[in-house]
Amino acid sequence: MSPDPYSDRVRELFARPGHAGVLEGNCSAAVVDQGVKIRLTAHVRDGRVEAMAFLAYGCPHVIAAAEAACAELEGRSAVELLEFPATGLMQSLSVPVEKTGRILVLEDAVRSLGRVITEMD
Amino acid sequence: MIYLDYAASTPVDPAIIDAMSAAMAAPGNYANPSSTHSEGRQSIDLISAAAERLAALVNTSPDRLIWTSGATESDNLAIFGAATYRQDRGRHLVSMRTEHKAVTDPFATLAKRGFEVTWVDPEPDGRVDLGKLESVLRDDTQLVSIMHVNNETGIIQDIGGIGALCRDRGILYHVDAAQSCGKLPIDLDALPVDLMSMTAHKFYGPKGTGALYIADRKGVHVDPMLFGGGQQRRLRPGTLPTQQIVGFGETAAIAAQRMNQDLAHLRALRDRFWAGIRDLPGLVVNGSLEHGFPGILNVSAEGVEGESLLLALEPLCVATGSACNSKSQEPSYVLRALGRSDELAQSAIRFSFGRPTTDAEIDAAVELYRGAVTRLRQLAPVAA
């Protein structure tokens, strides 16, 4: 049988995206590119992300990456969001090379959220 | 697992497996059908009987059929073979952008070799407008190829009307009948069709066997594409695969007996499925319920990403487009030709039903589809 295009982790994150939704507040960022739409919202206190949520239109890897990014970035500072690299997610989720552009859309959205938080301070 | 991908391929009927096994196991059947000894004649008798059965299914004479490896080879032989045989008559060819790649790719290749190809745009439901088709036919048009049932949308073309336009002008008409042979009535004795491609595996027969019908009419001929033997009037040389052809013959015989019953079953399944999902907002039928083959229902869902939909539908086995295209992330060229946006084309799912499909499977598929579309819409930003 040819290999499954989705790793177990992608399947798990796609099936149960606990961070899917919208958090009410002023911290939000959205990016549309490469056929992908991502909206991130966050609760921020003292310059750090307390909670983060996403909405996404995209392939399973995009949805899984958005879920993983939200989980990973809670507790991080705005500066860390501004420097967020998607390469770690691409590796941990075994994102195929033809989809890396889509995950970079998520990277753009995270950095955009970082800028929003920075401007609020 | 719920298999709703019968337009891609079908399970082989056990009676056909038995017939093929017997064809391989019986003493002497291994002989080359081209040999003149008794064992060879035994093999050719099996092949002749299979030709009788396929010919009966489509109402033609067995000697009008050329065995091939499948519909792709039949399409290639018909298109390249007719175009080159008749190139002195003219080098203008006509087809549609909604054809299977086994037709569009040969036409594109011929265009690179100096032929001129006119692509007729489909109407919004996928059918060809006969007036538009007539308007592109010219004195130097020598071949038209328009399929019977579209593999993605299930739309049924008026092959009688198309063929009549061609015959009036001395133009050859080729039909890719991969999705209709054995599923819809075909009367080649009455239809103005010159070349027709068929395959067994779309209607419960084995893969690896197909046929090309060549009408017994002046000017209808194809140049061969393979060389190396005198088999099949030198049009398609090569040792005939006895057991595959026996399987195709059995497939045809069973289809001839069951066609009306199969059609009623498919219509009931398609209607049950559509009734179960039609109230979801933002659904678009690609094709037409009225003019479509009931074994195929192609539906797009606004605001839903196709690849995620396919994963969310597991364990449903369906297609996002043509099976031959399923590894591509590109939106279906067929649906784009119907005027669908990239997003809408990309969200399309082709559900195709078959003889073994049950009402319980349809009900489970309805539940899965409703749940997946609703969940993915909730997950998507309304406007980013």
Helix (H) or strand (E) holding B368: helix B359-379
Contact B384 A38 (CB under 8 A): yes
Question: Looking at chain A from residue 46 to 105, which residues have their Cβ under 8 Å from any Cβ of chain B?
Answer: 55-60, 63, 98
Residue B184 · residue B295 · CB < 8 Å: no
User: Residues 6 or more apart from A84 whose CB is under 8 A from it?
Assistant: A69, A73, A107, A110, A111, A114
Angle between helices B359-379 and B242-277 (to 10 degrees): 60
This model of the complex carries an ipTM of 0.95
Number of structural domains (chain A) is 1
Write the residue in A30, A32, A55 that is nearest to B379 by C-beta: A55
User: Residues 6 or more apart from B347 whose CB is under 8 A from it?
Assistant: B300, B301, B302, B303, B304, B305, B306, B309
Write the residue in B329, B343, B384 that is nearest to A30 by C-beta: B384
Domain with CATH 3.90.1150.10 in chain B: 2-8+259-376
Which residues of chain A neighbour B303 with C-beta distances below 8 Å? 57
Phi, psi of B282 (to 5 degrees): 75, 25
Pairing of strands B296-301, B349-352: antiparallel
| pLDDT single digits (tens) B270-315 | 999 999 999 999 999 999 999 999 999 999 999 999 999 999 999 9
Query: How close, in Å, is residue A99 to chain B by CA atoms?
Result: 10
Residue A2 within any structural domain of the chain = no
* Active centre residues of B (catalytic): 324
For residue B39, count CB atoms less than 10 angstroms from its CB and return exposed for 0-12, middle for 13-18, buried for 19 or more. middle
Angle between helices A100-120 and A60-73 (to 10 degrees): 30
Which residues of chain B neighbour A57 with C-beta distances below 8 Å? 303, 305, 379-381, 384
Q: How many CB atoms lie within 10 A of CB B230?
A: 8
* CA neighbor of B169 nearest in space, from B89, B103, B243: B89
The secondary structure of B306-330 as a DSSP string is: HHHHHHHTTTEE-BSS-GGGTT--S
CA atoms of B361 and B379, how far apart (whole Å): 27
CA atoms of A44 and B267, how far apart (whole Å): 56
Contact A30 B329 (CB under 8 A): no
Entry pTM: 0.93
* CA neighbor of B103 nearest in space, from B179, B183, B51: B179
Helix (H) or strand (E) holding A89: helix A87-92
Closest B-chain CA to A6: B311
What residues form DSSP beta bridges with B92?
B116, B141
Residue A45 · residue A25 · CB < 8 Å: no
B-interface mutation test, from A1, A59, A98, A108, most B Cβ less than 10 A away: A59
Low-confidence stretches of chain A (pLDDT < 50) are none
Low-confidence stretches of chain B (pLDDT < 50) are 322-326, 383-384
Query: How far, in Å, are B7, B67, B97, B185, B351 from residue B180 at the CA level?
Result: 10, 18, 19, 8, 16
Phi, psi of A66 (to 5 degrees): -65, -40
Residue A59 within any structural domain of the chain = yes
Residue A3 within any structural domain of the chain = no
Contact B380 A55 (CB under 8 A): yes
Query: How close, in Å, is residue A75 to chain B by CA atoms?
Result: 23
Write the residue in A6, A11, A56 that is nearest to B379 by C-beta: A56
Q: CA B76, B78, B84 angle in degrees (round to 5)?
A: 95
CA atoms of B343 and B349, how far apart (whole Å): 12
Query: How close, in Å, is residue A72 to chain B by CA atoms?
Result: 19
| Containing structural domain, residue A57 | 8-120
Query: How close, in Å, is residue A109 to chain B by CA atoms?
Result: 11
Contact A60 B308 (CB under 8 A): yes
What residues form DSSP beta bridges with B95?
B119, B145
Q: How many CB atoms lie within 10 A of CB A20?
A: 18
Contact A63 B308 (CB under 8 A): yes
Q: What is the CATH number of the domain that holds A80?
A: 3.90.1010.10
B-interface mutation test, from A1, A57, A59, A100, most B Cβ less than 10 A away: A57
Contact A58 B305 (CB under 8 A): yes
A33 in helix, strand or coil? strand
Residue A1 within any structural domain of the chain = no
Domain with CATH 3.40.640.10 in chain B: 14-254
Closest A-chain CA to B311: A60
Question: How many Cβ pairs closer than 8 A exist between chain A and B?
Answer: 46
Question: Looking at chain A from residue 3 to 32, which residues have their Cβ under 8 Å from any Cβ of chain B?
Answer: 6, 11, 14, 17, 20, 30-32
Contact A30 B381 (CB under 8 A): yes
* CA neighbor of A65 nearest in space, from A81, A54, A52, A79: A54
Contact B380 A30 (CB under 8 A): no
User: Residues 6 or more apart from B341 whose CB is under 8 A from it?
Assistant: none
pLDDT the model gives residue B205: 97
A113 in B contact zone (CB under 8 Å): no
Which residues of chain A neighbour B380 with C-beta distances below 8 Å? 37, 55-57
Residue A15 within any structural domain of the chain = yes
Q: How many CB atoms lie within 10 A of CB B197?
A: 31
Residue reference for tokens 């133009």: B171
A-interface mutation test, from B302, B314, B344, B379, most A Cβ less than 10 A away: B379
Long-range pairs, A43-47, Cβ under 8 A, ≥24: A44/A78, A44/A117, A44/A120, A47/A77, A47/A78, A47/A117, A47/A121
Q: Under CATH, what is the fold of the domain B14-254?
A: Aspartate Aminotransferase; domain 2 (3.40.640)
Residue A110 · residue A84 · CB < 8 Å: yes
The CATH number of domain B2-8+259-376, selected from 3.90.1150.10, 3.40.50.720, 3.40.50.2300, 3.40.50.150: 3.90.1150.10
Contact A6 B311 (CB under 8 A): yes
For chain B, helix, strand, coil in percent to 5 are 45, 15, 40
